[in-house]
Structure 1
Amino acid sequence: MSQPFENLPTTPRSSELVDKAFSRASRAGRAKEGFDAQSSMLQTAANILSDNLENVVTEWPDFDDLDPFYTDLADAVIAGETAIGNEEKRGTGALRQHLSEVTWASRKCADIRGEYHSKLRNANDVDHARKLRKQAFARLADVVEQVEDSLLAIAAAREALRDLPDIKPDEPTIVVAGYPNVGKSSFVNSVTRASNEINSYPFTTTEINVGHFEGADLSAESARTDRSAMRDHVRYQLVDTPGLLDRPPEDRNQIESQAVSALEHLADCVLVLVDASGECGYPIEVQLELRDALVKQFDEAPVLTVCNKADRSREVEADYYMSVTEDENVQTVLHAAVDAIDYEPELPFEE
């Protein structure tokens, strides 16, 4: 599944919709005469407004059908980067309310069309029909203007969401965490170097780095087995989250906490890198406290403790020891993460 918000169309302003509808209605009226002209103008204007308002809503994905990763992430982004909502309702809840109001306006325009078509059929003369059509236009314009704030809010949400990371929640994902300067970025760069697929994306109050590697890259390093052969065609995602998973949960604001909640849905394995040498600037005890907090937070994914810079110090109990700079045990750690995920691709049915 690709990023669900990147192709959302531009949301029009209420004045743009009204100008478009009435301009086309005027052209439609000039093509006919008498009662038919007034009826055609009403039909054209109401249809354009109703259809365009409906399209604003239907172009958005159904949040109930989205992967929980994108649902939680969208909620965090909208709450944190737009002025949508209030203390009672923020994030996607506020956006849903605005979309509901636009749906109301679309249906109201259709109702006005039906109401005034009946009145036009009973008009005494063309002047009376023209007066009724003008009344209908005034009511249509008023309805659209009533949802101007909702249209602006939907446009702001679109701008905030369109550049979210193109992460595929159905691909097995390794999240890399740990305090700054422990070697997270170096590790991600090292293991994805062959494919050269490191990308940075806006991610609420910070950005994340996403890389990929293929199972075939690992199979070359180990004895061939049936399972490793199956993994050859699996693409794994590596996610490095500077600014989020490099500090204790209590230091995160509400929006950052929501973003981490989204990552909880995404992670199939978490690698917590620690630096026993202390060169990162943080005591090892503090680093282990962060590790323990992440174990609790990512309680549905295996969490592996990896001592990086092991060529300088191994004075910590860890699941694995490696040195990215010395290329020591990097592939071993990657193997361990893949084994912990234990992902097997679906194979085509064989008779």
Structure 2
Amino acid sequence: MSQPFENLPTTPRSSELIDKAFSRAARAGRAKDGFDAQSSMLQTAANICSDNLENVVTEWPDFDGLDPFYRDLADAVLAGETAIGSEDQRGVDALRQHLSEVTWASRKAADIRGEYHTKLRNASDVDHARKLRKQAFARLADVVEQVEDSLLAIAAAREALRDLPDIRPDEPTIVVAGYPNVGKSSFVNSVTRASNEINSYPFTTTEIHVGHVEDDHIRYQLVDTPGLLDRPPQERNEIESQAVSALEHLADAVLVLVDASGECGYPIEVQLELRDALCERFAEVPVLTVANKADRSRDVEADHYMSVTEDENVETVLAAAIEAVDYEPELPFEE
């Protein structure tokens, strides 16, 4: 399952949609005469309004059907800097309300089309038909303009979500955590070699690293998340905490890297407090403590000791993480 928001189409502004509908209708009208011209113009304008508004909605994935990782991550993003929603309704719920408004407008445009087709059939002459068609155009424009705020909100949501990192929730995932400068990115880069990607969450100023390794024909995903799992929970804002909740759905194992040498700039006691908080937060999956820079200090109790710079026990730690994941691929059912 790839990033579900990256291919969302551009959301039109109300004015753009109205201009498109009426200019196409004018061309359709010029191709015919009399009553047929007015009927064709009505049909064309109403169809463009109704169909384009419907497409705005149907191009979005069903949030209830999304993997919980992407659903919670989208909720975090949309409740944050994009300011989708209000104090009473934020995030994905607010986006759903905007999509519902656009659905209403699409159906209303279709209703106007049906109502005025009937009126046009009963028009006394062409001038009367033209007057009715203009009334229909005015009502179509009014309906589309009523959902301008929703269209703008949907467009803002698209911009925020389309650049989410391409993380595969269906792949076994090892999350790498720990304070800055303990060697997390170096570890991910080392074990994934050149196969890692660098992406950003929309609500952080730091990049995340996503790498892949293959073991016994199974691809494992390693995720390093600076800005989220590199400080105590009380220092995260509400949006970052929601993103950590999303990572709970993703992680099959967590490696917490610590640096007993203190060269990272954080006392080992503080690092272990973060480790304990992560053990509590990710209680459903294995959490391994890994002492990096072990060539400089081993003065901490850990599950494994390694030195990325000295290439000491790096592959051993990776193997331990894969073993902790204990991934069993789903096999096709056999009689």
Normalising by the smaller structure, the TM-score range is: over 0.9
Would you say 1:332 and 2:330 are equivalent positions?
no
Q: CA deviation at 1:77?
A: 1.1
Equivalent position of 1:225 in the other structure = none
- Aligned ranges for residues 62-211 of structure 1 at < 5 Å? 62-193=62-193, 196-203=194-201, 204-205=203-204, 206-211=206-211
Partner Cα distance (1:176, 1:83) in 2: 30
Matched AA of 1:199 = E
Q: CA deviation at 1:349?
A: 5.0
Task: Specify the SS of the correspondent of 2:39.
Answer: helix
Would you say 1:284 and 2:268 are equivalent positions?
yes
Matched AA of 1:61 = P
Matched AA of 1:150 = S
Task: Specify the SS of the correspondent of 1:109.
Answer: helix
Equivalent position of 2:294 in the other structure = 310
Q: CA deviation at 1:324?
A: 1.1
Partner Cα distance (2:143, 2:111) in 1: 11
TM-score, normalised relative to structure 2: 0.97
Matched AA of 2:313 = N
Equivalent position of 1:221 in the other structure = none
Equivalent position of 1:218 in the other structure = none
Q: CA deviation at 1:207?
A: 2.6
Task: Specify the SS of the correspondent of 1:81.
Answer: coil
Matched AA of 2:303 = D
Partner Cα distance (1:264, 1:83) in 2: 24
Q: CA deviation at 1:325?
A: 1.4
Gaps of 5+ in 1: 216-231
Task: Specify the SS of the correspondent of 1:192.
Answer: helix
How big is each residue's C-alpha offset from its partner over 1:247-301, in whole Å with a ceiling of 9 and x where there is no partner?
Answer: 0000000111111111111100000001111111111111110001001111111
Equivalent position of 2:246 in the other structure = 262
How big is each residue's C-alpha offset from its partner over 1:300-325, in whole Å with a ceiling of 9 and x where there is no partner?
Answer: 11100111111111111111111111
Partner Cα distance (1:30, 1:82) in 2: 44
Task: Specify the SS of the correspondent of 1:80.
Answer: coil
Task: Specify the SS of the correspondent of 2:176.
Answer: strand
1:274 aligned residue (238, 243, 258): 258
Partner Cα distance (2:191, 2:308) in 1: 10
How big is each residue's C-alpha offset from its partner over 1:64-83, in whole Å with a ceiling of 9 and x where there is no partner?
Answer: 11000000111111121312
Task: Specify the SS of the correspondent of 1:239.
Answer: strand
Partner Cα distance (1:350, 1:156) in 2: 47
Would you say 1:246 and 2:230 are equivalent positions?
yes
Task: Specify the SS of the correspondent of 1:168.
Answer: coil
What is the percentage of aligned positions where both structures have the same residue? Answer: 86
Task: Specify the SS of the correspondent of 1:307.
Answer: strand
How big is each residue's C-alpha offset from its partner over 1:58-103, in whole Å with a ceiling of 9 and x where there is no partner?
Answer: 0000001100000011111112131211111111111111110000
Task: Specify the SS of the correspondent of 2:79.
Answer: helix
Task: Specify the SS of the correspondent of 2:80.
Answer: helix
Runs of 4+ off more than 3 Å: 347-351
Matched AA of 1:296 = E
Partner Cα distance (1:311, 1:172) in 2: 30
How big is each residue's C-alpha offset from its partner over 1:107-144, in whole Å with a ceiling of 9 and x where there is no partner?
Answer: 00001111111111111111111111100000000000
